[in-house]
Structure formats: structure tokens, C-alpha cells
Amino acid sequence: MPDLAEGQPTPIVLAAMGSFHIGGREIEITGKPVREVALNPGRAATRIDPNGRYQVEQMYVQYFVPEPRRGQLPLLLWHGGGLTGVTYETTPDGREGWLNWFVRQGWAVYNSDAVERGRSGFAPPEVFTGDALFLPKKNGFERFRIGDGVGSYDDDPSKRRVLSGNLFPADAYDQFCRQIVPRWTSTDPAITAAYLALLEKVGPSVVLIHSQSGQFGTTVAQARPDLVKALVLVEPAGFPVTEDLGALARVPMLAVYGDFIAEDARWPEIRAKGEAFLARVRAAGGRADVLDLPQAGIHGNSHMLMMDRNNTAIAELIQSWLAGLGLWR
């Protein structure tokens, strides 16, 4: 277990903090039998009529507005697949995450859980087709460039093969697994709709995505370039399917890539798709920068950059890029 991060360097001063749910829709379920359900074993049953309207596909958002503000726009943090906004909170080994770091730097941060994950809840089987996907512990270790590929995970932590020089806190990998949540594979349209609703509520923002959310960030920016003023793509794994990237050319973007990509089983292809996407944005007249960390002399980063031991150094590079756009002063 990590220690509680109570020994934080200086106080965080917030003009406001709070949360809300946004988006989603109502559905109606009919024709089901009324049931007597013991909500807790051994207790009296309660009569439950499952028929009626349900709220589904909403999204949870928690916000922290610091004082004073130096970020010129809200900063929206969108997590990757199988995870929640916890991605950006305390790291698995108990250090401060990017949420705290950006708040301390004066950004109003909005941290959300994608539709069907975490505090967003999930809809009845009538809405989400297919089953939730559960992944065993080995999956992330072998897929997120923490371990040395397939077979590197072992149930015995002392026998796991960590990539040499890896900066992920591998001794806290078991703790990291506690934040992994099930996901459906059929919910992309609902997630995209909720992120659009969030931007419409919050207004012009900087969007920072990770991994799976690449497709959500780029799709939403393509739809509303007036609301996405900058897009930070942290190891994006998905992109919009559209051919016309004209709207995206209005949104400055930065892609950030960690280490160990060339030797990985999957990442050379994912990155090649990303670079091809960025080239198309540039061809359409847009700005699409790449921060290749090893090329910049920063070695050892896994796919979970925001949890790696040098997480604040990477956040600083991202913020410098945003400062160059006049979005942090």
C-alpha cells in the first residue's frame, strides 16, 4: 500500500471544487415482471418494478478550480481504455499525479470518467450490447510497456520481467491493478456524445487525452474546433475515421510518445497510424507537433506516462508547449 500523500509540499488553494454528471439520454424498458428483491441477503424483500424510464450514458466530471489561475482555459483530462479519471490522481506508489500537478500550476482541471466507467455508472443490458470486458492482471503489465512483452508477468512480483530502465513504479503494479475497471466495446458513440456535451457546458478548453481517448479527443475536436483550443495526445491509440481533417487543422495538437516503442509487439503500428494522422493534419494546414521523449533525451517511459517516476517532468514539457500557445501565463 502506498502512504497517504499527506506530506504534500505546499497547500492547494481552490476557489471551487465539485462534480456533476452530464449528457446521456432516457430509455424505456417495458414488459418485465415485477420482482421481490432482497436488496441485502437475509433482509426482507422489496418489491421492484423494473419497468419504466432509465437514465443512461451520462458522464461523471469532477472539477478543481485553483486560485490564482494561470491556465487561460479549463483543462479537460480524458483517460484511456479500462480506466477512469483515477488515472490522473495519486500514482499507484503514492506520489501526486497530473491532476494535482496541473491544479497547482493554476489550471482549472475537469477530470471525468468515460460513459460506462467508474462514477458514470453503466446501463442495463438492453442498452449496452455484448458483455463487459474484464482483463487479467498480466494484460496491462505486458501491453503498457511495463514488462518485457508477453510472458513477462508472473503472479510472483519478484519474478516479473520489467523492461530495463522502465520508469513505471513497477513495485506498485499490483496497486495499479486496483484502478482497472471493466469496459464495453460498443460504447464509442455514447462516450463521444458525452464529451461533446461536456465541452458545450464548459466552453473553450484544452483537452488532454490518453490512449483510447485519442479517438474521442480528435473526433470531438473535428466536430467542435471552436471548443477545443488545443489537443494534447498522450500516446493516442485511436483517431477519427473521417477523411476530411479540415476542421482539425484549426486545432493545434501535440502528440507525446514514451520509450520502448520500437521493440513492442503492438506500438510500432499504433504509432505509425498516429504519425500518419498527424501528417494528414499538417497537410490540411494544421499544427501537429510530436514530443518523442527518447529523442528529447528522456528515457524509460511506459504507456502510463502520467504515473511514471518522471511524471511531473513530462507534465512540465506539455505545459511549456501550452505556454507557447499563450494558454498558460
Q: Cell digits for 65?
A: 478550480
- By residue count, the chain amounts to 329
Q: Which residue has the cell 471493466?
A: 182
| Residue 118: CB minimum distance to a copy of itself, A | 4
Q: Cell digits for 90?
A: 495519486
| Between 139 and 310, CB nearer to a copy of itself | 139
Hey, is 234 helix, strand or coil?
strand
Beta strands in 67-124 (DSSP E): 75-78, 109-113
Candidate ranges 19-27, 162-170, 287-295, 314-322; the one touching a copy of itself (CB under 8 A): 19-27
| Residue 208: CB minimum distance to a copy of itself, A | 18
Question: Do residues 146 and 170 touch, judged by C-beta distance below 8 A?
Answer: yes
> Does 304 help bind a copy of itself (rule: CB under 8 A)?
no
Please give the residues from 254 up to 293 whose contact with a copy of itself meets the rule CB under 8 A.
266
Hey, what amino acid is at 67? E
Q: What are the distances in angstroms from CA 238 to CA 59, 185, 211, 278?
A: 20, 13, 7, 12
| Residue 257: CB minimum distance to a copy of itself, A | 19
> Does 53 help bind a copy of itself (rule: CB under 8 A)?
yes
Q: Which of 71, 67, 100 is nearest to 86 (CA)?
A: 100
Binding string, residues 148-187; x marks residues near a copy of itself by CB under 8 A: -----x-x------------------xx-xxxxxxx-xx-
Candidate ranges 81-89, 221-229, 243-251, 320-328; the one touching a copy of itself (CB under 8 A): 81-89
| Residue 296: CB minimum distance to a copy of itself, A | 29
Q: Which of 38, 276, 283, 296 binds a copy of itself (CB under 8 A)?
A: 38
| Residue 192: CB minimum distance to a copy of itself, A | 11
| Residue 162: CB minimum distance to a copy of itself, A | 18
| Residue 315: CB minimum distance to a copy of itself, A | 16
Please give the residues from 202 up to 231 whose contact with a copy of itself meets the rule CB under 8 A.
202, 212, 215
| Residue 264: CB minimum distance to a copy of itself, A | 13
Please give the residues from 228 up to 247 whose contact with a copy of itself meets the rule CB under 8 A.
238, 241
Please give the residues from 133 up to 152 whose contact with a copy of itself meets the rule CB under 8 A.
133-139
Q: Output DSSP code: residue 308.
A: S
Please tell me the distance from the alpha carbon of residue 225 to that of residue 206, in angstroms, as a whole number.
Answer: 11
Q: Which of 76, 77, 86, 206 binds a copy of itself (CB under 8 A)?
A: 86
Q: Which of 34, 37, 272, 296 binds a copy of itself (CB under 8 A)?
A: 37
> Does 24 help bind a copy of itself (rule: CB under 8 A)?
yes
Q: Which residue has the cell 490522473?
A: 88
Candidate ranges 128-136, 253-261, 302-310, 312-320; the one touching a copy of itself (CB under 8 A): 128-136
- Kindly provide the b/e burial profile for residues 257-296, where b requires at least 16 CB atoms within 10 angstroms of the residue's own CB: bbbbbeebeebeebbeebeebbebbeeeebebeebebeee
CA dihedral 292, 293, 297, 301 (to 10 degrees): -150
318: Cα separation from own chain's centroid:
16
